[in-house]
Amino acid sequence: MATLKTEIRSGVYYDSAKLMSLQRSLAELPGILDAGVVMGTDSNKELLAHIGLDTPEVRATKPDDLAIVVKAENEKAALEALEKVEGLLAARKASSDQAYQPRSLESAVDALPDAEWVIISVAGRYATAVTREALRLGKHVHLFSDNVSLDNEIALKKEAREYGLLVMGPDCGTAMVDGYGLAFANKIRKGPIGIVAAAGTGLQQVSTRIHQLGSGITFGIGTGGRDLKAEVGAITFLMALDVLTRDPDTKVIVLTSKPPSPKVAEEVLKVARKAGKPVVVNFIARPVTTLRDGNLFFATGLDDAARLAVELANNPPKLTGDADLPIEKFTPQQKYLRGLFSGGTLAYEAQHILYGYVPRVLANSPINKEFQLPDAFVSQEHCIVDLGEDEFTVGRLHPMMDNELRIRRLYEEAKDPEVAVIFLDVVIGYGSHPDPASEIAPAIAKCIADAKKDGRHLEVVCVACGTDEDPQNLNNQIAQLKAAGAMVDTSNEVICRYVGRTLRALAERDEPKAKTVGKPVDLEGLKKPLAAINVGLESFSENLKDQGAPYVQVDWKPPAGGNEKLIDILQKMKPRRK
């Protein structure tokens, strides 16, 4: 019958590679059926229980304790295995050929002053202190460690921003800096695409697909999967986006994230719209409402993002920006949209599309019930009124047959000094008014003229829905509306997006200029040949060696015997260097 034996060691520190290597060595010893070597956290204890390596001693461990369990054919084999533990732990990894391993980050920096990066993969509870030390030594940090608290993440990132340094992480698996991979990273061709990812394997999936599609990347900057949470506010993400925006070698930017805070996602996109180059966006679980918004291109998945980026890099799109919008013609008071619709579906589509540009569009028949216009007869803010709704049509003709009510309302809206844009649909065909433009166009012309007398530019836009074979003739209707001064298109979607961009630009005109926070990252420094200091998993040093990058592995042990309070106090006593 199998027997279980346990050994507990308190207050020791070994990195996880060492523990895993010990576990494997024990499991391969004669007479041993299975072995577990873990720190005594709750989930590790649950795991051991789950695989039948549960003992009373294991159950009593604390997170600081190392639990070593062997399951053996008999007691003798178990005891013999445990006797070998000391020797196995002491064995130095043969592959490590770095003659001198500094014991501190400071001496490592002295040994390799050109290093711009520190890679940190020590246990989560020590990672904050090591990161802070690296930042104060003036280094960017790739923080691979997980189990770092959100509060610590925020504090570290805020401090780094002041110094113009990147904290990629915590729990950041992957980064690629100008041809070199840090931690988990693939060998990707150099090329014209830069990636920012709050998504470790997201970055790997996008970059590998880009490589497979024949293109390549400049930078792949990981931020840790929580960077777009509301609490963190995309600190690293925005710094990285700024780097790629400034980098002349980056022709296309890809942004990807684990499910983001919707509000933070919109803030990031607002910045991305000003990048002046194509930006492909795949924020997981953010609904796609359009495939393109100016320089932003929306993907349905990571693979689709890679495909789009390569296409855009190969065939650069024409980016016109907002130069076509009449923003400077409006008075400072003008800001609102009034939509006066006869078609219910067109009114719904307008709301749906405009939600993508401005946060609130009221309506008498709203998609989002929060945006109910309190009184359909009185406009407020941005609003869309469907005059074909039941409230307007009891014992009255539908507004497609009779323009009277809509024209009355048009005059009202046009007088409002806060109104910038009026949006009408003109729907022709059998059953509709025999010549709606003959009534609507003169009213539009009068509204525009009256506003002009009053010193205002009134933008009137119309979707004209019909065909050249309709009794009213579409082209004739369009000509009348255009002659009156309206912008006209046959696609509701086209008009809605034009209106959306206008309203967004008006809102941004009225916003206070954002203060520049922190210091910009030094782009030139990032583009120097990579050199890095590694604290933690030795395999990350081996990666650097394989890629021909200078590195120093720190022979790190928790200071102050692992006492976290004491570590904190010691750190506060150190001044910032560089």
Interface mask toward a copy of itself for 30-49; x: CB under 8 A: --------xx-x-xx-xx--
Buried b (16+ CB within 10 A) or exposed e, 422-435: bbbbbbbeeebbeb
> What's the min distance (Å) between Cβ of 518 and a copy of itself?
27
Determine phi and psi for 252, rounding to 5 degrees.
Answer: -135, 140
Token output for 379: 């406009």
Whether a cis peptide bond, with omega within 30° of 0, leads into 170 is: yes
* Largest Cα–Cα separation, the chain: 102
Positions 225 through 264 that interact with a copy of itself (CB under 8 A): 225, 256, 258-259
- Binding test (CB under 8 A) with a copy of itself, winner from 377, 508, 566, 578: 377
Which of 478, 483, 449 has the alpha carbon at shortest distance from 463?
478
353 makes contact with a copy of itself (CB under 8 A): yes
Which of 429, 427, 556, 535 has the alpha carbon at shortest distance from 488?
427
427 makes contact with a copy of itself (CB under 8 A): yes
- Binding test (CB under 8 A) with a copy of itself, winner from 276, 301, 316, 359: 301
209 makes contact with a copy of itself (CB under 8 A): yes
> What's the min distance (Å) between Cβ of 113 and a copy of itself?
24
Q: Which residues sit opposite 246 in a β-bridge?
A: none
Token output for 511: 């916003």
> What's the min distance (Å) between Cβ of 537 and a copy of itself?
8
Give 75 or 404: the residue with its C-beta nearer to a copy of itself: 404
- Binding test (CB under 8 A) with a copy of itself, winner from 349, 416, 418, 522: 349
Interface mask toward a copy of itself for 385-414; x: CB under 8 A: ---x-xxxxxxxxx-xxx-xx--x------
Positions 518 through 577 that interact with a copy of itself (CB under 8 A): 537, 539-540, 543, 546-547
430 makes contact with a copy of itself (CB under 8 A): yes
Number of other CB atoms surrounding residue 179 within 10 Å? 17
What is the enclosing helix (H) or strand (E) of 14? none
Find the part of the chain contacting a copy of itself (CB under 8 A) among 273-281, 427-435, 515-523, 568-576.
Answer: 427-435
Half-sphere exposure of 546 (CA within 13 A, CB side): 14
- Binding test (CB under 8 A) with a copy of itself, winner from 107, 438, 476, 490: 490
79 makes contact with a copy of itself (CB under 8 A): no
DSSP 530: P
- Binding test (CB under 8 A) with a copy of itself, winner from 10, 74, 95, 300: 300
Give me the amino acid identity at 284: I
> What's the min distance (Å) between Cβ of 134 and a copy of itself?
19
Which of 47, 71, 73 has the alpha carbon at shortest distance from 61?
47
Long-range CB contact pairs, 449-455, < 8 A, 24+: 450/414, 450/415, 451/414, 454/417, 455/331
Give 102 or 343: the residue with its C-beta nearer to a copy of itself: 343
442 makes contact with a copy of itself (CB under 8 A): no
Positions 86 through 115 that interact with a copy of itself (CB under 8 A): none
Give 465 or 486: the residue with its C-beta nearer to a copy of itself: 465
